[in-house]
Chains A and B, each alone.
Chain A
């Protein structure tokens, strides 16, 4: 609380992730005194502890290396292990294993679709009541411990979607400004890529300033990439399929493969190792060849001006008039018996930065001022929640291509990311996977167990026409699995989902009493999520399924995609069922814009309502665009840091 004394810090930052750490580093270098409040546990001295968690995890999900795990022994009821009740944890978070579960297993309170799909709304065509499938971490370093490393730039038309195609909203930034910000982020991360290799993407408007060079040379492509690249040679697909609502784009677009700029080292960089192809960028790089936010946190601490307070969960932002005057937070610990303890504290600064994830930022803004919310003149806090909903397809080639080797992905199809079709349907990028059917069906486990025990969960053990699944052993089993595993690959399509006002984060409180329905272990109300998809987005899925099948056909590969898993995360569009995954690209809950009545923050991520508060991260993205978000969210953090330093002068 403010008591008239001078503030304790120049800047207090909530959250030690990509944005928070980068801003802390920039401020520390500029001689500003910074405190970071990090809700979760400290960054461990060695990642061996996290590696061991990963090795011993039954389900090697993105969250598996990080603290507060599922139990390590499965049962018939819960093969992946028992999940802890989020009401007992100080920093529960959304987890893959919690998807589709009730609030005693799932931190996010949300609709639990039964697999029976809701019909579209007759007016809007939207399907409501869908599951939000993305998850995140709450620990020192944040969710980007397990980012893939994909460091694509957005396209010029990504950030002017409304002006160019009459859909969504524009970003309040110019492409020229973003180009200079991306260059800063690419240097900080250490992005491996070649401008020459990216040049063919001028067909979708990708441009670099003259003479630009990435910090280091590209990551070699995999044999999987090389095979797909050759296989799609000459393939063209139309902009839209017949009967697309709203109009058609009959233009034929070239399908081609390009190497993916990556935040992993192709040469020693920043005192970190070269990538050894552990095929484990998600959930954890064992050797930190992939940049993660702890790298930048280390540099921030090295300035001598930055302090981190771990196990410190912000629960209220104090506001007087048009100023933030302090942040209230709990410092939590566990006593000798393991009971959760908490002490309430407050801290003051000249400037405050909320950097604790799109969903947590929205939660904190809505919690403040006795749950009446702050910084919300626009009524956009928590709204326009987006992801890159992900369509996964998979196939077997006719010859070995040796997946399960190299970084998880080294190339993609970016050539379909822009075109007139964006008036009518969601654009998407296509990521080629190097991990066989690991993502697709849980291989090599599933197929191995199929041939050991005579089941057919992989669809690879059907025994041929009229056949039954077989059981094998010895060399016959080894050769069969070798034959199958070396021919597997998958393609993931990620969509530029529409921003929808009703896709939103709210507090899970009783609207009459204001009392929380569900809390975390500290008594803080949990986020409630409502999610759906509009026809524009779903039409993107229809097109993606068409393009994937066309690619497999042209390559002579056999497709095995399952478009329904009969569980949460399915929808039906025009009679066809689709399954979507979360990409972890959580976007839009405090969107940026020039107009304080339609956006929460300005182009520097500064609150329109409260000029000494910045709300940063992917939550500021007005649209989710066609590139993975981390590079751009770091680029925006560079701009925020500059504006904070200017404001402190």
Chain B
């Protein structure tokens, strides 16, 4: 792999916007306005190092096309399209999207099937402690509770409070 310069602000923002659509989370949870943790940048660079710049560029281009359609389509439709959810044989690009969702949800790199030399790994401590699947349990990463004594005897806050974008056409 060649060493690339850090991605531009616009690239990171575009990756964050795509990640919000793919994960179903609000953009403010993926990339807050002030974001010293910067998982968007970390995940972008990590994925590029794993699958190569050209493949990432192609994915970002596909996302740009989908998100500038007129009339606009919903984030759910963008996710379904990029992930090719109805296809029995998702393309390599859709497999990369699965890996991106997995990074956000699980904090780990799960090598997509086409990456035969990939190694599964936890990307960083912060990738674990900010991993979003725990928000879907309306809970917290095991070993990283932001809550206080006795919270477990009461019902949790709403799923929206935990960052899920519940209103974009993905309901069932």
Give the interface of A toward B (CB within 8 A). 51-52, 54-58, 60, 72-75, 79, 220-223, 226, 266, 274-280, 284, 286, 400, 402-407, 410, 434-436, 438, 444-445, 448-449, 452-453, 470-482, 485-486
Contact = CB atoms under 8 A, between A and B. Distances in A.
B97 interface: yes
Contacts of B159: 478-479, 482
Nearest to A278: B145
Given A277-B145, A474-B22, A477-B101, A402 B139 contact: yes
Contact of A278 (B90, B119, B143): B143
B118 to A, nearest CB: 9
B40 interface: no
Nearest to A280: B143
Given A277-B152, A436-B137, A56 B128 contact: yes
Given A73-B120, A278-B145, A481 B151 contact: no
Interface stretch (B45-53, B62-70, B76-84): B76-84
A589 to B, nearest CB: 32
Contacts, number: 204
5 contacts: A55-B144, A60-B142, A276-B149, A475-B170, A476-B172
B161 interface: no
Given A402-B156, A478-B164, A486 B137 contact: yes
A472 B85 CA distance: 6
Nearest to B139: A404
Interface residues of B, number: 60
A453 B98 contact: yes
Given A51-B143, A449-B102, A474-B22, A479 B171 contact: yes
Contacts of A479: 24, 159, 164, 166, 170-172
B71 interface: no
Contacts of A226: 153
Interface stretch (B3-11, B30-38, B104-112): B104-112
A400 B138 CA distance: 10
A contact patch SS: loop
B136 A481 contact: yes
Nearest to A483: B172
Query: Which of B83, B133, B154 is the most central at the interface, judged by chain A CB atoms within 10 Å of its CB?
Result: B133
Given A55-B122, A278-B142, A221 B82 contact: no
A438 to B, nearest CB: 7
A480 B23 CA distance: 12
Given A286-B143, A474-B78, A477-B101, 10 more contacts: A52-B125, A56-B122, A405-B139, A448-B136, A473-B82, A475-B75, A478-B164, A478-B165, A479-B171, A485-B137
B147 A435 contact: no
Nearest to A221: B153
A55 B21 contact: no
Contacts of A485: 133, 136-137
A444 B138 CA distance: 12
B25 interface: yes
Given A436-B137, A471-B85, A277 B125 contact: no
Given A74-B120, A471-B83, A452 B137 contact: no
A101 B157 CA distance: 44
A388 B21 CA distance: 47
A404 B105 contact: no
Query: Which of B25, B102, B153 is the most central at the interface, judged by chain A CB atoms within 10 Å of its CB?
Result: B153
A445 B23 CA distance: 15
B54 interface: no
Contacts of B133: 444-445, 448, 481, 485
A83 to B, nearest CB: 15
A38 to B, nearest CB: 25
A473 B22 contact: yes
